[in-house]
Amino acid sequence: MNNTQAIIITIGDELLIGQIVDTNSAWIAQQLNILGISVKERIAVGDTRDAIIEALSEAIPKADLILLTGGLGPTSDDITKPVLCSFFGGKLVVNEDVLAHVTELFRKRNRPIIERNMKQAEVPDNCRVIHNPMGTAPGMLFEQNGKWIVSLPGVPFEMKAMMTETLLPDFATRFGSTQAIVHRNILTIGEGESFLAERISDLEAALPAHIRLAYLPSPMAVKLRLTGTGTDEAALTKEVEHHRDLIAARVQNRLVALEDHPIELLLANALKKQNLTIGLAESCTGGYIGHKLTQINGSSAFFKGGIISYATSAKSDILGIPAAVIEKEGVVSEAIATEMAQAARKLLHSDIGIGITGILSADPYEDKSPVGTIFISVAGPGEIRAKKYQLHYDRVQNKETATQLALYQAFEFIRPE
Amino acid sequence: MNNTQAIIITIGDELLIGQIVDTNSAWIAQQLNILGISVKERIAVGDTRDAIIEALSEAIPKADLILLTGGLGPTSDDITKPVLCSFFGGKLVVNEDVLAHVTELFRKRNRPIIERNMKQAEVPDNCRVIHNPMGTAPGMLFEQNGKWIVSLPGVPFEMKAMMTETLLPDFATRFGSTQAIVHRNILTIGEGESFLAERISDLEAALPAHIRLAYLPSPMAVKLRLTGTGTDEAALTKEVEHHRDLIAARVQNRLVALEDHPIELLLANALKKQNLTIGLAESCTGGYIGHKLTQINGSSAFFKGGIISYATSAKSDILGIPAAVIEKEGVVSEAIATEMAQAARKLLHSDIGIGITGILSADPYEDKSPVGTIFISVAGPGEIRAKKYQLHYDRVQNKETATQLALYQAFEFIRPE
């Protein structure tokens, strides 16, 4: 038996004119995968009746579960509810539970409630209403020939709350698959995908048909993902991990981790495990390393803070690097990166300090060093390791890559031999 | 005549399992819109022959231009090239220009070239090859009954370079539309979309059929977008702007800007215009405000830097806030936010200082203040304005919102009356 196939339809003109980036679909796909439900397609369409109906009509024959997000707000451009209601041949009726919930929500936030908000309590009489604990727009679940069609708000935290509290448990019961999907990842750094592929070509050729290998390249790093499908989850996991271990052993010299975690989480976990703290002195990355580390829940256990020494005066006045040293070495230099790392450790009383300085883009106000030159230094109690990198991307990508490299270099620094 | 319709197809299992967020589609959609080309749908499918062919077969009848991204790499999971080649009935042949380019790229980066990389120079004999200045995978342009089908790599900076250098100018020539699309935006803050909608309902009702109004809500802010279509771009622009001005005047008390810029760019432009500099003292936002400001090209003209005073010791040791004041007021307080803003100004020699402190999520290591409480203070030469906010989201969304609010509060602070 094949596993359950899902299609995700996102609704909103903003998706078609590029005004927003869709992050909902990725999250939904992850959650469905955990239940053994495959996402067959993702489709984005505009806020028009024809577009919604066309997408739905094409999707229903192809999948068992259709998830729609967006277009459920209280304004006139939100048309998903009446379109679905008429598509499935129902009519809108007031739902007393939703009405009570919406009224309570406005009362709690001390806001007046208006007719337009009360309209949110009208739902099709031919659907199951899905409670929205975080907002006023209820979700809807329609059933047709055993297929489920679910409509959710596009606001990410509302959608996520409804999925987590209500829908994912129901999907597990209804579509709970005998077919398991197992993903395992191998994160490598420093070697291009074509060279990695060459080195593991015999292992790739030996993979059974139900295990696929994918290469996900990004600047400086390549993730290898093995995806297996099968009926016995435990046996499948063992089998996928066996192949993963073979590949990991082959690329040992480039291996960062076997977990599919972003590098900041790998670093955070390593710091916590060894009971170490970290402090930053960021120049060209402008606070991005600090941002990445503080995205992690409980980051105050290992993150002391940082100095964004963007202006040269901040490097001397706050970090205390002598002006003469800056003058002699140049702002973008290994010496300054190391001074920064040491100053961060000292000022923030942390075990580890990262210093990073570089030129991300040709900027009339900045230093005259070659664009893309970055120095990263990591300082610990008894050791300092500094490295120079030459990046070749645009400003935004150079910043992203520099941040990844700094996190990676700190991770390597504290990794036990 | 209707304007040109495009469909974007993104290829890659990583999109269907939620391993990556698709940012390419939004960028492509924006670029096409500028040329008057509408995106009708966006579709994401997996790395299988059947999925690619099905998506393509469904898309071609519906659109004039199909853009595919992804699946052009040198590894075995990259199958787009052979699939398209056979779909359009061609065969793969070595292209000497691409071969020379790939060889040169490896030579310049001092890397050995292997058979697998040379394969990148094989292209279908029935397509026009699109030069990839940033990488080894060439793009392909197929023509069928006057429709264009274009395949590009999924790596964002490669795709963008090829679009900008070659394809967008060619699209303009080929599909250069007599139909113009004009978007105008009104950015508001502090009032829910349903209340805004109520206040402008008569203006919305009076819009002509060729101008649509959309509401894009996010926590604390709502963007109103007017989209007009017509044949005379100058007249249409005037007409859309007339309606925009009517709505903007009505919501004057909530108006932030008429430009569709992120708030950091609005702030940066205002700082540069008034020749002001800014410095930060960030606690709960962990460097995110600094990151946002340094995403802007030329940020060193107005951004001096910041202190990420995450640990309490950093607030006293680096910012110089007396421990007794912290003890008395509590780390999360208006007094500390203001001390931080003033310290940032002083330490960074900036005209404006932002101080922000708060609790983003229930964290065993953090302060015991209510989750979501944030204090933001902005200090200038002769004035300080502090505000308290209570946010209701999860950690990541609270951080995003707190950062937006801080940038907005600084923008308001320096805005001329």
Residues 44 through 63 of chain A touching chain B, CB cutoff 8 Å: 44-47, 51, 55, 58
Residues of chain B neighbouring A75 (CB-CB closer than 8 A): 193-194, 197, 215
Residues of chain A neighbouring B195 (CB-CB closer than 8 A): 114
Q: Which pLDDT tens digit goes with each residue over B94-149?
A: 999 999 999 988 887 777 888 888 888 999 999 999 999 988 999 999 999 999 99
Interface test with B, best of A310, A319, A347, A397 (most B CBs within 10 A): A310
State the nearest Cα–Cα gap between B217 and chain A, in angstroms.
Answer: 8
Q: Using 50, 70 and 90 to split pLDDT, how confident is the model at B361?
A: confident
Residues of chain B neighbouring A44 (CB-CB closer than 8 A): 25, 41-43
Residue B336 has pLDDT above 90, yes or no: yes
CB-based contact A305 B310, cutoff 8 Å:
yes
Select the residue of B58, B308, B397 nearest A308 (Cβ to Cβ): B308
Select the residue of B116, B287, B308 nearest A198 (Cβ to Cβ): B116
CB-based contact B310 A301, cutoff 8 Å:
no
What residues contact B380, with CB distance under 8 A and at least 6 apart? B351, B352, B353, B413, B414
Residue B178 has a pLDDT of 67
Q: What is the DSSP letter of A279?
A: E
Residues of chain A neighbouring B215 (CB-CB closer than 8 A): 73, 75, 77-78
Q: Using 50, 70 and 90 to split pLDDT, how confident is the model at B73?
A: confident
* Residue whose token pair is 């679940």: A141
Interface test with B, best of A8, A14, A16 (most B CBs within 10 A): A16
H or E stretch including B15?
helix B13-16
Residue bearing the bigger pLDDT, A2 or B344: B344
State the nearest Cα–Cα gap between B383 and chain A, in angstroms.
Answer: 24
* C-alpha closest to that of B215 among B245, B229, B233, B195: B195
Residues of chain A neighbouring B313 (CB-CB closer than 8 A): 304, 348-349
State the nearest Cα–Cα gap between A194 and chain B, in angstroms.
Answer: 6
Average pLDDT, chain B: 92
What residues contact A217, with CB distance under 8 A and at least 6 apart? A192, A193, A223, B73, B155
Residues A199 and A196: their CA atoms lie apart, in Å, by 5
State the nearest Cα–Cα gap between B251 and chain A, in angstroms.
Answer: 16
Residue B177 has pLDDT above 70, yes or no: no
Interface test with B, best of A8, A30, A42, A158 (most B CBs within 10 A): A42
* C-alpha closest to that of A308 among B29, B344, B216: B344
Q: What percent of chain B has pLDDT over 70?
A: 97
Residues 354 through 413 of chain A touching chain B, CB cutoff 8 Å: 361, 363-366, 393-397, 399
Select the residue of B74, B293, B318 nearest A197 (Cβ to Cβ): B74
Contact B16/A at CB under 8 A: yes
Q: Which pLDDT tens digit goes with each residue over B191-204?
A: 888 899 999 999 99
Q: Which pLDDT tens digit goes with each residue over B2-11?
A: 578 999 999 9
Residues A191 and A199: their CA atoms lie apart, in Å, by 11
Residues of chain A neighbouring B184 (CB-CB closer than 8 A): none
Q: Using 50, 70 and 90 to split pLDDT, how confident is the model at B1?
A: very low
- Under 8 Å CB pairs connecting chains A and B tally to 338
* C-alpha closest to that of B132 among B102, B93, B96: B102
In chain A, domain spans: 5-175, 180-257, 263-414
ipTM score here? 0.84
CB-based contact B306 A304, cutoff 8 Å:
no
Residues of chain A neighbouring B349 (CB-CB closer than 8 A): 311, 313, 317
Select the residue of B15, B306, B314 nearest A348 (Cβ to Cβ): B314
Cα B283 to Cα A360, B130, B290, B328, distances in angstroms: 26, 48, 12, 18
CB-based contact A300 B46, cutoff 8 Å:
no
Cα A228 to Cα A32, A139, A232, B267, distances in angstroms: 15, 33, 11, 49
Residue A274 has a pLDDT of 97
Residue B299 has pLDDT above 70, yes or no: yes
Residues A403 and A284: their CA atoms lie apart, in Å, by 9
Residue A10 has a pLDDT of 95
CATH of domain A180-257: 3.30.70.2860
H or E stretch including A332?
none
Write out the two tokens for A134. Answer: 């975080």
Residue A117 has a pLDDT of 83
> Taking the CB of residue B122, how many other CB atoms lie within 10 A of it?
18
Contact A41/B at CB under 8 A: yes
* Burial of residue B368 (number of CB atoms within 10 Å: 0-12, 13-18, 19+): exposed
Select the residue of B21, B33, B365 nearest A18 (Cβ to Cβ): B33
Cβ–Cβ under 8 Å, residues B197 and A76:
yes
CATH 3.40.980.10 fits A5-175, yes or no: yes
The one-digit pLDDT tens for each residue of chain A (417 residues) are 457 899 999 999 888 988 888 889 999 998 998 888 999 999 999 999 999 999 999 999 999 999 999 999 888 888 999 999 999 999 999 999 999 999 988 887 777 888 888 888 999 999 999 999 988 899 999 999 999 999 999 988 899 999 999 999 999 889 876 678 899 999 998 888 889 999 999 999 999 999 999 888 877 789 999 999 898 989 999 999 999 999 999 999 999 999 888 899 999 999 999 999 999 999 999 999 999 999 999 999 999 999 999 999 999 999 999 999 999 999 999 999 999 999 999 999 999 999 999 999 876 445 566 889 999 999 999 999 999 999 888 888 899 999 999 999 999 999 876
State the nearest Cα–Cα gap between B248 and chain A, in angstroms.
Answer: 17
| DSSP assignments along B148-214, one per residue | EEEEE-SSHHHHHHHIIIIIHHHHHHHH--SSEEEEEEEEEESS-HHHHHHHTHHHHHTS-TTEEEE
* C-alpha closest to that of B410 among B302, B308, B284, B258: B302
Residue B205 has a pLDDT of 95
Residues A89 and A85: their CA atoms lie apart, in Å, by 6
Q: Which pLDDT tens digit goes with each residue over B249-293?
A: 999 999 999 988 889 999 999 999 999 999 999 999 999 999 999
Residue bearing the bigger pLDDT, B12 or A110: B12
Residue B265 has a pLDDT of 95
CATH class of the domain whose range is B263-414: alpha beta
Residue B176 has pLDDT above 80, yes or no: no
Select the residue of B22, B225, B291 nearest A286 (Cβ to Cβ): B291
Residues A416 and B70: their CA atoms lie apart, in Å, by 37
Select the residue of A15, A17, A305 nearest B309 (Cβ to Cβ): A305
Residue A1 has a pLDDT of 41
Residues of chain A neighbouring B309 (CB-CB closer than 8 A): 305
Cα A14 to Cα A28, A35, B130, B220, distances in angstroms: 19, 30, 29, 18
- Please state whether beta strands B255-257 and B180-189 pair in parallel, antiparallel, or not at all (unpaired): antiparallel
Contact B285/A at CB under 8 A: yes
Residues 305 through 344 of chain A touching chain B, CB cutoff 8 Å: 305-311, 313-314, 317-318
Residue B51 has a pLDDT of 95
Q: Which pLDDT tens digit goes with each residue over B87-98?
A: 999 999 999 999
CB-based contact B300 A363, cutoff 8 Å:
yes
Residue A20 has a pLDDT of 81
Residue B179 has a pLDDT of 77
Residues 189 through 228 of chain B touching chain A, CB cutoff 8 Å: 192-195, 197-198, 204, 212-217, 223, 225, 227
> Taking the CB of residue B35, how many other CB atoms lie within 10 A of it?
20
Contact B304/A at CB under 8 A: yes
Contact B100/A at CB under 8 A: no
CB-based contact A16 B204, cutoff 8 Å:
no
Residue bearing the bigger pLDDT, B224 or B416: B224
